Chains A and B, each alone.
Chain A
Amino acid sequence: MIMFRLSTHKELKFVQNAIDNLFGEKIAEKFIQNKHLIIGEGKWKEIFVVSDKMITILKAIADKKQPYSLGMQIGELDKNKKFKLSLEAVFEIVKYTSHKIQLSAKGAQTILYGRNISFSAVDKIYYKAKKGDYAILLDENGFPIGLGKILHDFAKMQQNQFKICIKNIIDLGWYLRKGE
């Protein structure tokens, strides 16, 4: 059973730092501000962002029934305490970060099938991407469709045209593969 509670200050800072380290300073604050961080604690920890009104309801029902889910799930802390970002968080973060890579239509389809990306599928890189970075992947119309891990520095990518240059971390195809 998952028990829901307000995050501790330490947990809040941990999540904020995890997001900021991946996407730039004060990114987390921009979409968490005036909201609350809730931890759903079961076999692992799920992290949710919720409004004041939902906190009031959660408190009112907490001793009668625990929810299944609430607000916006922004990620999980796995067994090794590693923060895994959710698709919902990607939709928020994309509004504020420059860590974005636009793919061709074919590249977008590749990502949505859960596969990795070659350099030829990259249309535009919005920042100076470095090996190990995480970037939000955009489709040909500029809409976020997933999250990728950069496998090579941008300069090397251009020179070498690597077969695989972005590893698929999460993508919207999840909703078809596992979501329903």
Chain B
Amino acid sequence: MSVDDGLVKELAEKYRYLNYMIKRYLEMFGKEETVQFLEANEQRLMPTLRCNTLRIDEEYFVNLFTKKGFILEKIPRIAYGYRVFKTPFPLGATNEYLLGFYFLQSEASMIPVQELNPKPGEIIIDLAAAPGGKTSQIAQFMKNRGAIIAIDINRKRIKSLRSNLSRCGVRNALIIRMDGRQISDLDIQADKVLLDAPCSGEGLINRDPTRKTSRELKDILYLSGLQKSLIDAALTCLKPGGSLVYSTCAIAPEENEFVINHALKNEGINVKKMDFIRGSPAFTDLMFGETLHPSIKEARRLYPHKDGTEGFFICKLQKDN
């Protein structure tokens, strides 16, 4: 698809993005939707939190927080998720935060674990676990029973992972500092795997505007290679019949659909329809030179201009029995 270079330049200047990003948005969304997307990226998202029932009864927490002057609203169809309309104190410095009663977690980022649906007693691998929002959410679903193998490579981030799991009362996690691409060395077969992959963070521009100019296309292609290696590794340690949820806060198809397309080349791996029905179907047309598998339409994309969330991608895969 050809795009108007003048329009690319105009939008890039107006919204202060790199030209290549605008060009790609126009190719993916067309003009009207690109402008809506760019406008939405200028708006701050409402803070959201996940009530941590490992530490507190949900109803008690809501009452306690309401008495303190916070205004909470339950997020439909997201377990334990709340939007915070009024915050009399910074959410990251309340006694309740220190007590682990909640985790500051974005609305979209609560969905992958909900789709993974971890059960008490299972073995779950969280392949890029720091800083621990989703790991603690997994433990919450598991009621601290079973085991989570939480992997991260970054020395600084793994300290924060440990601290957050401790704060949230997670008792069933085994934290390992290693490169997730080497996970098969451990010879562990998991019931389920979460791969919330390291990504360009292009979906988080409304939180971090520096992302408008901080990454080149070559960075996205590098990350895409890393994500493909990680998903290959993740699939090797998945039990037959087990499921894997892949997610990113990226917009680029190279970090999302292309990675799933790559994973589907492994024998016995299929895209599974998710329970979560919000968002837009993932791309399945020819995109940036790659033909995509039609089943990828079951994956979901969330956008700030359509869903009021950060840009997000979620796909559930299942290994044949």
List the interface of chain A (C-beta within 8 A of B): 49, 51, 53-54, 57-58, 60-61, 64-65, 67-73, 86-88, 91, 108, 112, 139, 141, 143, 145, 172-173, 175-176, 179-180
Say whether, besides A112-B98, A179-B163, A54 and B147 are in contact (CB < 8 Å): yes
> Can you name the residue of chain B whose Cβ is closest to the Cβ of A35?
B171
> Can you name the residue of chain B whose Cβ is closest to the Cβ of A109?
B95
Say whether, besides A53-B146, A54-B147, A71 and B98 are in contact (CB < 8 Å): no
Which of B35-43, B44-52, B174-182 contacts the other chain?
B174-182
A57 engages B147 (CB within 8 Å): yes
A73 engages B172 (CB within 8 Å): no
B175 engages A68 (CB within 8 Å): yes
Say whether, besides A61-B188, A91-B169, A180-B160, A68 and B98 are in contact (CB < 8 Å): no
Least Cβ–Cβ distance between A117 and chain B, in angstroms: 15
Interface range on chain B (Cβ under 8 Å from partner): 20 to 34
A-B contact pairs, 13 of them (CB 8 A): A51-B147, A51-B172, A53-B123, A53-B146, A58-B174, A64-B187, A67-B174, A67-B175, A87-B166, A88-B169, A145-B98, A175-B163, A179-B159
Query: Does B74 interact with chain A (Cβ within 8 Å)?
Result: no
A172 engages B98 (CB within 8 Å): yes
Q: How far is the CA of A64 from the CA of B131 in the complex (A)?
A: 24
Consensus secondary structure, chain B interface: mixed
Residues of A within 8 A of B171 (CB): 49, 51, 71-72
Least Cβ–Cβ distance between B131 and chain A, in angstroms: 8
Least Cβ–Cβ distance between A115 and chain B, in angstroms: 15
Residues of B within 8 A of A87 (CB): 166
Considering residues B95, B123, B175, B188, which has the most beta carbons from chain A within 10 angstroms of its beta carbon? Answer: B95
Least Cβ–Cβ distance between A33 and chain B, in angstroms: 14
B93 engages A176 (CB within 8 Å): yes
Query: Does B99 interact with chain A (Cβ within 8 Å)?
Result: yes
Least Cβ–Cβ distance between A103 and chain B, in angstroms: 11
B146 engages A65 (CB within 8 Å): no
A57 engages B158 (CB within 8 Å): no
> Can you name the residue of chain B whose Cβ is closest to the Cβ of A180?
B160
Residues of A within 8 A of B176 (CB): 61, 65, 67-68
Residues of A within 8 A of B178 (CB): 65
Least Cβ–Cβ distance between B180 and chain A, in angstroms: 12
Q: How far is the CA of A141 from the CA of B172 in the complex (A)?
A: 27
Considering residues A57, A67, A69, A179, which has the most beta carbons from chain B within 10 angstroms of its beta carbon? Answer: A69
Q: How far is the CA of A86 from the CA of B163 in the complex (A)?
A: 12
Residues of B within 8 A of A61 (CB): 176, 186-188
Q: How far is the CA of A88 from the CA of B169 in the complex (A)?
A: 7
